[in-house]
Structures are given as structure tokens and as C-alpha cells.
Amino acid sequence: MKIAVLPGDGIGTEIVAEAVKVLHALDLKFEMEEALVGGAAYEAHGHPLPESTLKLAKASDAILFGAVGDWKYDKLDRPLRPEQAILGLRKNLGLFANFRPAICYEQLVGASSLKPELISGLDILIIRELTGDIYFGQPRGRRVATDGHFPGAEEAFDTMRYSRPEIERIAHVAFQAARKRSKKVTSVDKSNVLETFQFWKDVVTEVHKEYPDVALDHMYVDNAAMQLVKEPKKFDVVVTGNMFGDILSDEASMLTGSIGMLPSASLNSNNQGLYEPSHGSAPDIAGKGIANPLATILSAAMMLRFSLNQAASADRIETAVKSVLASGLRTVDIWSEGTQKVSTREMGEAVVKAITKSTKS
């Protein structure tokens, strides 16, 4: 089991270190190799995704990724910005299917900004298409952009585009995932305004004919954004495009109490995957030792389940996280009155301890 470990920037290094400790606490043998990515790679090699990092990622069964980015790189020409590394990895490895489960742990019901009865027992799965849509559209409007900005330009544009095979394969992923859950898919689009998403809706409807046992409904993205906070439990599997999925999954993260709790998996058709927390590099708290490592630790659990065929070990990590939360330990983002504030490292070590204890018992 070869894992490429790419911590990246900001809190990326802090949270990945904890996830690596958790993986080492399992009685499994891994080959782990670390490489630079994002701003750290730009500083060392002049590129956010150096050839050596891409080579390592391609040669691994799975990638454990932290986060990339820092505001100090905002002036760089776009292809050199740290965020391009993650887009490059997705494109080069064909990681088209992004799974973002939003689960509200019972112990964190009080940490959400929504009423407890709305989110207690919440368990939804957002499936975001990851290698198409406006983030990869051609042509893109780049005018007079010497420093990543557009001094004196009159317009800028990006192009939204999806091909039939791109929509078909993500629709199949969603219907198959729904078969293992409550057999219900909501496809989110903006077909009332955008041609691309009328096409999306038509293709998803066609693919649905192969899954008569799964219920399908369609919802406009603006309505979905509203329903997610009004009545989130009415969703089960949500499938949508790259940009809408980006926004809705961040919104869904707050249903779970904090963006620091939301893991993600990005898979290609060979089940090779990149596993990362749904949040970014959080430059505002980087270096303070207060970031929540649980999204990354839970991403490592998804890695064991989806790419490394180690479901029992994935269960052990998830059980350990639940027991740590039940014991009242909280990083600052999920802290509430009556619970105990801990650092990033203390949270990681508590999960390790819970795993070790489960081995002994």
C-alpha cells in the first residue's frame, strides 16, 4: 500500500502530521513518501505541482493531501498559484468523482449554527463532478494579465462546458452510491438559465433509466442551497457539477458543526484516490496549533475504505473519532461550554490513544 503524503501549505502540514500518526497506529504496513505541493513546492521548485510530485502521486495507490494556498501568492500568474496543484492532480489522475459525506456526529449537534432537530442524525453524501465545468472550460479570458490580475481590461470570461461521457460517468457513480444507501438521488442544476445544465439534467435523466430502483429528483442550485439549511435531512445523495458542488459542500460542512469535520475522497475509474479535508489551508490560523485535524483523519479513513481495501481499519478510525468526541475533547472550531479545548496535536494523539486502546481490548 503506497501512499503519497502531500501536506501542502498553511495548516496542511499540521493536520496531515496527525493523520499520519493515526495511520501508523493501525497494525498495517504502509509505504509512505512525502513530497512538496502548492506554495511550498513553488518556493522550492518554482512550480506548485513539480514533475517529481506528480510522478509520486501517479505511482501511489492513494494520496493523502493537506491543503494548498496562501494569500501571499494572489499576485502570481494563475498557472503558478498553489491552487493549480490540486486542479493539476485531479486532471492528471482523472479524479472525476468527489465524495463529500456530511455527517453530523451526535456529540456535535450543539456546535452547528442550525437548530439541533434539523441536523441530529444527518447523513448526506454530496457527489461533486471534479474535472469538468467552468473550472476547466476553454477558452478562458486572460487579458493583460501580467500578475494574475487585469489592469485596464474591460472584461474577463470563463467557459462552462460538460461532455456527455463526463456527465454519464458521474451519474453512474451517484446512482451506484445511492443503491448502497437509501436509494435516492437529487441532481442539482441550473437548467432554467444555463444550457450546460439543461444538458446535465437530460443526461442524468437518461442514465437514470438503468437504475429503476433508485428515485431521482432534480433541483435548481439556488433552491438546493436554501433547502440544505431549511430541511437538510430530506437529501440523501446529491450529485452536481464542479462549481455548484464546491459551494454546496462548503455549505453542508456547516451542518456538521465545522468545516474542520468534513472529509473528502476524489476517485478515478481505477479507485485510485486523493483524500483531503474539504477545507483550505486556513492561513488565518496556520502555525497556531489550533486547527481541527479530524477532517483529515476521517479522510484517511475514507482512503483505507475506498482505495486500500481496509474497511475494518477505516471503521476503527471512525469509531476512535466518535469516542474522542464523546469524551468531550474539542478543537476551538467545535468547542462549546462544558467541553475541553485541545490543540491540533492533542486531538490527533487522543485519536491514536483511542485506536491503541481498541487494539488492546
Among 128, 201, 279, 330, indicate the residue that binds ligand NAD (CB under 6 A).
279
- 325's CB contacts (< 8 A; 6+ apart) are 105, 107, 108
Among residues 127 and 185, whose Cβ is nearest to ligand NAD? 127
222 assigned to active site: yes
Q: Per the structure block, which three cell numbers stand in for 334?
A: 467545535
123 assigned to active site: no
Instruction: In angstroms, give the least distance from the CB of 359 to ligand NAD.
Output: 27
Q: If binding is defined by CB under 6 A, does position 88 make contact with ligand NAD?
A: no
Closest C-alpha among 93, 97, 72, 107 to residue 338 = 107
Among residues 273 and 280, whose Cβ is nearest to ligand NAD? 280
74 assigned to active site: no
Alpha-carbon distance 123 to 103, whole Å?
4
Q: If binding is defined by CB under 6 A, does position 67 make contact with ligand NAD?
A: yes
User: Where in 167-226 is the site for ligand NAD (CB under 6 A)?
Assistant: none
Among residues 199 and 335, whose Cβ is nearest to ligand NAD? 335
Among 5, 214, 259, 267, indicate the residue that binds ligand NAD (CB under 6 A).
259
Q: Can you name the residues that pair with 220 across neighbouring β-strands?
A: 189
Q: If binding is defined by CB under 6 A, does position 70 make contact with ligand NAD?
A: yes
Q: Per the structure block, which three cell numbers stand in for 308?
A: 486500500
Q: If binding is defined by CB under 6 A, does position 289 make contact with ligand NAD?
A: no
- DSSP assignment of 121-177 equals T-EEEEEEE-S-GGGS-SS----S-SSSS-TT-S---------HHHHHHHHHHHHHH
250 assigned to active site: yes
- Candidates 28-36, 55-63, 272-280, 309-317: pick the segment binding ligand NAD (CB under 6 A): 272-280
87 neighbors 107 (Cβ within 8 angstroms): no
Amino acid at the residue 226: M
Query: Out of 42, 73, 105, 135, which one is annotated catalytic?
Result: 135
Closest C-alpha among 57, 72, 118 to residue 276 = 57
Q: Can you name the residues that pair with 275 across neighbouring β-strands?
A: 64, 265
125 neighbors 99 (Cβ within 8 angstroms): yes
Q: If binding is defined by CB under 6 A, does position 158 make contact with ligand NAD?
A: no
333 neighbors 284 (Cβ within 8 angstroms): no
158 assigned to active site: no
Q: If binding is defined by CB under 6 A, does position 69 make contact with ligand NAD?
A: yes
- Candidates 65-73, 101-109, 229-237, 317-325: pick the segment binding ligand NAD (CB under 6 A): 65-73
- Candidates 112-120, 121-129, 141-149, 275-283: pick the segment binding ligand NAD (CB under 6 A): 275-283
Among 174, 237, 285, 301, indicate the residue that binds ligand NAD (CB under 6 A).
285
User: Pattern 320-339, binding to ligand NAD, x per CB under 6 A?
Assistant: -------------x------
Alpha-carbon distance 249 to 336, whole Å?
24
Half-sphere CA count of 217, side-chain side, radius 13 A: 11
Among 68, 109, 265, 354, indicate the residue that binds ligand NAD (CB under 6 A).
68
For the annotated catalytic residues, the residue numbers are 135, 190, 222, 246, 250
- The residues binding ligand NAD (CB under 6 A) are 11, 67-70, 83, 86, 259-260, 276, 279-285, 291-292, 295, 333
